[in-house]
Amino acid sequence: MARKKKAEETLNLEAILFKCRDILRNARNSGSFFEKRDMMLTLVFLRFIGEKFDDGVAHLREQLTEQGLDPDDEGIKTAFFDDATFTDGTFNLPVEARWSTIINTPAPKLNVALDTALHSLAASSRQLRGCFVEGTFTSRNLAPNDIKKVVDEVSKISHKIFGEEKDLIGRVYEYFLKEFAVNATKEEGEFYTPHDVVQLIAAMIEPFEGTLYDPCCGSGGMFIQSAELVQAKKGDISRINVYGQEKEPATHRLAKMNLALRGISHHLGAAIDSTFLNDQHKGLYFNYIMANPPFNLKGWFDPNLQHDLRWAEYKTPPESNANYAWILHILSHLKPLDGVAGFLLANGALGDSDTLAIRKGLIEKDKVEAIVILPRELFITTDISVTLWILNQNKQGGVWHERKLRNRQHEILFMDLRTWTENPVKNESKKKVLLSTAQIQRAANIYHTWQSEGTDGATYAEPELYRSVGLEEIKEHGWSLVPSKYIEFVDHDLEIDFPTEMRRIQGEMRALLEQERASQKMLEEAFKGIGYGIA
């Protein structure tokens, strides 16, 4: 009998990265977690920037052909290709830095070729300088067979194949956090924010133009998704300038890679340092702030922060937890007249007793606009449910993004999305869900409708989903921001017609009893036929 043909393995990002992980784990001299991660991210960066260059050249050839010019003519090559200029942020790569050069380099020369490519990029582009560590590959000096295997696997990662991934470099980063996470403690905030969560924040606060800030920008995912929203709505990412800060050197380089690849104007500060201790954008105010700070961060406090101006109007946040330090830092950077912020925090921040005075102050000063509880298992690196906070410096109404807003002073919109878990993500080692485009749009519509003229905040509610609540009711609940204290939850047991339901159950029991009696009678008749009785 012929053997069944082995099913062809489906090409997917996780499978490719799994192979790379195993190659690096078994290779000699592959180094620590950080060094493995740096090698992989640098290779992926070279692959992406190389693929973008190839796409740019192909598009340029098409344009020349449409204009009746021969792209293979030597004169045309000299005029258009030797020093190509791309209008979409694509970098004109030196020959030695192109992926076509790297992938065709013999295995014994690959380590040197890769570092030559990095040096060439740093020397030729100010924007690319600082995106990677020069000497990454020769310092590790992987065996020719090992480095060749990894490069061949990375070559399979293509935007043409994995186009559904909105932030592939960030996705690769997330994978290595998950699989190599010997250092990735939750307190250190080593999280990659899933693109559907970022899309939700961006869809709600609409950072279409002006300045956007992220005080803990990680891999730059907030900026990438916001730029995509701007392109979808307005078509011009030059309308927004991004500012950020990150204390982890490898993650800071990753953000620079991401932003450089997309031609996004960015200012990530002169130093890689703690946002609390060395604020790189002190004194600046921003139109929009988006952030996913480390949840429940401990060890953040320093005696020099005791009388910091960021919390002078409120109270010094507790040393045991940085949640409210992040809130007050974000508020201190919002433009006083119309700044809007959307950021994630652990659910404990909604009602912690040791932050009551600060929370009361935020509510009384009308800084909190919306509180949105998100489903569990949105993140790969943690399964907790988190909260999206929206702060707004202007709740008085007026025209905003071509919408007429009503006066929402002393109102807060509460939403609870914890039941939105019907979209599981396949091929994950642990349970994970995502928010669909339709769900993201629905949540944004609920928020924008609540803001708009014609809506009565006193009656704006849907049981088990959202409700607008006034200041007095929040005061009655001890200044808690826990949505379940305000949103109506229906007791579905009360909807049951118990007499009808009992009659249905009794009928089913009688039918089962009749079936059992009929079966018993059949058995008795059968045994009598062969000369046996049955007790």
Question: What is the DSSP-derived secondary structure letter of residue 387?
Answer: E
| Higher-confidence position of 530 and 5 | 530
Measure the CA–CA gap between 59 and 338, rounded to whole angstroms: 42
Are residues 310 and 458 part of one domain?
A: yes
Instruction: Give the end of a domain, one of 463, 485, 507.
Output: 485
Per residue in 436-475, pLDDT (tens digit) is: 999 999 999 999 999 999 999 999 999 999 999 999 999 9
Q: Among 485, 502, 523, which residue terminates a domain?
A: 485
pLDDT tens digits, one per residue of 341-400 = 999 999 999 999 999 999 999 999 999 999 999 998 888 767 778 999 999 999 999 999
pLDDT, residue 498, reads: 60
pLDDT band at residue 181 under the 50/70/90 scheme? very low
Instruction: Give the model's pLDDT for residue 158.
Output: 82
Distance CA 343, CA 47 (A): 32
97 and 226, same domain (yes or no): no
Q: Are residues 113 and 143 in the same domain?
A: yes
pLDDT tens digits, residue range 401-412? 889 999 999 999
Q: With H, G, I as helix, E, B as strand and everything else as coil, classify residue 526.
A: helix
C-alpha 146/C-alpha 183 separation (Å) is 25
Residue 129, pLDDT > 60, answer yes
CB 389 within 8 A of CB 327: yes
CB neighbour class for 159 (10 Å; exposed up to 12, middle 13-18, buried from 19): middle
Residues 266-274: contacts with CB within 8 Å, 24+ apart? 266/220, 266/223, 266/241, 266/242, 267/241, 267/242, 267/243, 268/217, 268/243, 268/244, 269/244, 269/245, 272/246, 272/247, 272/248, 273/245, 273/247, 274/247, 274/300
User: Looking at the structure, do residues 430 and 516 belong to the same domain, yes or no?
Assistant: no
For residues 67 and 93, membership in a common domain is answered with yes
305 lies in some domain = yes
Q: Which tokens hold the place of 229?
A: 């929203």
Could you give the C-alpha distances from 515 to 152, 469, 511, 518, 520, in angstroms and in order? 66, 57, 6, 5, 9
Write out pLDDT tens, residues 52-96: 888 888 888 888 888 888 878 777 776 676 666 665 667 788 899
Mean pLDDT of the region 479-495? 80
Residue 166 has pLDDT above 70, yes or no: no
- Is there a single domain that holds both residue 468 and residue 524? no
- 108 domain residue, yes or no: yes
pLDDT at 31: 77
Provide the pLDDT for residue 524. Answer: 65
pLDDT higher than 90, residue 240: no
User: CA 131, CA 470: separation in Å to the nearest integer?
Assistant: 48
- Is 7 inside any structural domain? no
Residue 4 lies in a domain: no
For the chain, the domain total comes to 3
The crossing angle, in degrees rounded to 10, of helices 221-233 and 195-205 is 50
**CATH number of residue 101's parent domain:** 1.20.1260.30
* pLDDT score of 529: 59
Mean pLDDT of 283-289: 96
Please indicate, yes or no, whether residues 399 and 503 belong to a single structural domain of this protein: no
Which amino acid is present at 327?
A: I
* Average pLDDT of the segment spanning 137-158: 92
* Neighbour tally for 16: CB within 10 Å: 19
Length of the chain in residues, anyone?
535
Q: What is the pLDDT of residue 476?
A: 96
Picking from 111, 526, 23, 370, the residue whose alpha carbon sits closest to that of residue 362 is 370
Q: Is residue 290 part of a domain?
A: yes
The answer as to whether 182 is a domain residue is: no
State the virtual CA torsion across 149, 150, 153, 158 in degrees, nearest 10: -150
Q: Is residue 112 part of a domain?
A: yes
Angle subtended by helix axes 144-154 and 110-124, to nearest 10: 50
Structural domain of residue 203, as residue ranges? 195-485
pLDDT exceeds cutoff 80 at 513 = no
Q: Which residue has the higher pLDDT, 515 or 43?
A: 43
Q: CATH number of the domain that 397 lies in?
A: 3.40.50.150
Mean pLDDT of 496-513: 71
What's the whole-number mean pLDDT along residues 18-27?
Answer: 87
What Rg value do the Cα atoms of the chain yield, rounded?
29
Other Cβ atoms less than 10 A from the Cβ of 372: the count is: 24
Are 223 and 268 part of one and the same domain?
Answer: yes
Residues 428, 326 share a domain: yes
In a domain? residue 5: no
Contact 182, 157 (CB under 8 A): no
Mean pLDDT of the chain: 84
Same domain, 146 and 279: no
Is 512 found in the same domain as 421? no
| Cα torsion 99, 100, 101, 107: sign | positive
Average pLDDT over residues 274-298: 93
Asked if residue 132 and residue 276 are part of one domain, the reply reads no
